[in-house]
Chains A and B, each alone.
Chain A
Amino acid sequence: MSTSKLFSFTLGTLSAIGGFIDIGDLVADALVGARFGLRLAWVTVLAVVGIMCYAEMSGRIAAVTKRPAFDLARSRLGPRYGLVALVGAFLVTGLLVMAELSGIAFSFQLLTDISYLFWVPVAGLVVALFLWALPFEILERIYGIVGLSMLVFVVAVWQLHPDWGHLWHSATTPSPTPGETWPIYAFLGITLVGAQMTPYEMFFFSSGGVEHGWGPRSFAEMRTNVIVGFPLGGLLAIAIQAVALVVFYPAGIQVEHITQTVLPVVVALGKVGLAFAAVGIFAATFGATMETLFATGYDIAQYFGWSYGKLQPPAQAARFTAVTASLLFVSVALALTTLNPIQVTIVAVVFSAMLLPLAFLPVLLVANDHVVMGQYRNGKLSNAIGVVTLGVSCLISVAAPVLLVYTRGGSG
């Protein structure tokens, strides 16, 4: 395989590392693993299948129409629907930018013992400089590849020499662990869905496809990105849950910090593992900062019909550039208020789960539109998975606020 072919898959890897495994997932997976072991791993499997289906549809729409998902949502369902989806996505993704920036700062804190608050402005500056100075493709490749160091969590599972029978039993027992309740089990399942099926992954993936100039001939590349990227994210998520099960569950440890997420890697692999984990967290949160920033910029620019894109010089997409720069600045300021980024993330991913139907419905409708998609419209398999995923997301959007309050945010 040529180097350019290999690198063409980095958008999927970036979507996986930065989208699937962001700060929300780093905390949610470890938290779930510590309390329920692998008993919610099936949620991750379903989330991977669902997000793969919708990412493929979004990528196909972008390749056929040369327009990304949100742009089509507005034209398909009208400006009011588009505005509701825009405001929802903006609030959730905006909060996530702040949390991801804090995640970058946490990765620096891990190795320096200097408060993350000191590193937040530094992280903002680094993000701004990189986004300004480096082309999209280079950024994508650097963070897609550096992010692979997150695989240290998979290695850690092996190195901890777990009882594989116990892991399998946990993964095939879809019920709460002793002492836990069904409402908390359901709430944390929803938290996982919100952390793993973020709408911005889809928007970023399809907008990135437009920037890459995808056409029908790019289907193989696009699908390979989907098939490689998201299952990779799912594998990492399950690995984090597994190491938390092995190290935390027997000791009764509850996870509330990123430092706790890396502790099993420290136990398994020592300082080398810790270094890989810190680099991986940096790459994942940096990638997620980039994705959330761009996804928000894309959403707003596409809704108002502005020119947008990282591939264009900033002067030619001045309003897009101004929106992303302003959001970055506001996020740095928000992070410096000492608002707990982990708690913000948990709330944001629950609200993100509630908004999923707003993101999925227009994509499903457009992907089935014969006039727009012609011969490339959805087949039976895509529709079956898409409809089931949409149905489940509708149930989640109703159950999430009730469970959020009833379980007091999962604390019981």
Chain B
Amino acid sequence: MTAALWYLVWPPRTQAGYTHQAQQTIGKFRSQVATARLWGRELDRDHTFLATASVGLDEMETDATNTLDQFAAYQPPAGQEPMRTEVTTLGDAVVTDLGELRIAARQGRTATVVRKAKRLGDLLDRIDTTTSDVSS
């Protein structure tokens, strides 16, 4: 049981393990941003209540913060500091953008939420670029 729990929380120690963790982290960022963008699009189509979209956006921001914190806490193996910098910089941008969306939604500024959500397409492009960098 102890060994199983140890395995579950064991941080990546090798370069391959760290790269795998980085890819998973970026995948989560992509999911969070894509979900937020979808909420924004449905708000634009008048398909959802602002209150419901606000719940969804808040969850995505919280998830992104947790994802970033978890990855940042891993000690990078020697030579992989640039990868850490690239992924955490991307994570900071994700958290900032999702935070702005959540704030606008909570303040009832529907038009702002819709506008900012449309701009998440640029962030998704940046996520794709980072995915390629990390995989190469």
The chain A residues found within 8 Å of chain B, CB to CB, are 109-113, 247, 251-254, 256-257, 259-260, 262-263, 266-267, 270-271, 274, 401, 405, 408-409, 411-412
Residue in B7, B38, B39, B48 whose beta carbon sits within 8 Å of that of A271 in the complex: B48
Q: Is the CB of B55 within 8 A of A113?
A: yes
Note all chain B residues with C-beta closer than 8 A to A112.
Answer: 51
Known: A252-B27, A408-B8. A274 touches B49 (CB 8 A): yes
Contact call A259/B8, Cβ cutoff below 8 A: no
Q: Is the CB–CB distance between B31 and A274 below 8 Å?
A: no
Contact A253 B55 (CB under 8 A): no
Are B48 and A411 in contact, with the CB atoms below 8 A?
no
Interface mask (B48-92 → A, CB under 8 Å = 1, otherwise 0): 111110111001000100000000000000000000000000000
Shortest distance between the CB of B105 and any CB in chain A (Å): 8
CA distance A252 to B37 in the complex (A): 12
A-B residue pairs in contact (CB < 8 Å), sample of 26: A110-B55, A112-B51, A113-B52, A113-B54, A247-B38, A251-B34, A251-B38, A252-B27, A252-B31, A253-B34, A253-B35, A257-B59, A259-B52, A259-B56, A263-B38, A263-B56, A266-B42, A266-B48, A267-B38, A267-B42, A267-B47, A270-B42, A270-B45, A271-B46, A274-B48, A405-B8
Shortest B32–chain A CB gap in Å is 9
Known contacts A408-B8, A409-B8, A411-B24; is-contact A110 B52 (Cβ 8 Å): yes
Residues of B within 8 A of A (CB): 4, 7-8, 20, 24, 27-28, 30-31, 34-35, 38-39, 42, 45-52, 54-56, 59, 63, 106
Do B63 and A256 touch across chains, with their CB atoms under 8 A apart? yes
Q: In the complex, what's the smallest C-beta–C-beta distance from B6 to chain A, in angstroms?
A: 10
Given contacts A110-B52, A259-B55, A405-B4, contact A270 B46 (CB under 8 A): yes
A405 and B7 contacting across the interface, CB-CB below 8 Å? yes
A382 to B: closest C-beta gap in Å: 37
Closest to A404 in B: B4
Contact status B24-A412, CB under 8 Å? yes
A354 to chain B, nearest CB (A): 14
Complex CA–CA separation, A262 to B48 (angstroms): 11
Question: Does B47 lie within 8 Å of A259, measured CB to CB?
Answer: no
Which residues from A are CB-within-8-Å of B106? Answer: 113
Among all A-B residue pairs, the 9 with the closest Cβ atoms: A113-B51, A270-B47, A254-B31, A251-B34, A405-B4, A259-B56, A113-B54, A253-B31, A266-B48
Chain B residue with Cβ nearest A402 = B4
CB < 8 Å neighbour of B49 from A111, A252, A253, A256 = A111
Known A113-B55, A259-B56, A270-B45; 11 more pairs at CB < 8 Å: A109-B55, A111-B52, A113-B54, A252-B27, A254-B27, A266-B47, A270-B48, A271-B46, A401-B4, A408-B8, A412-B24
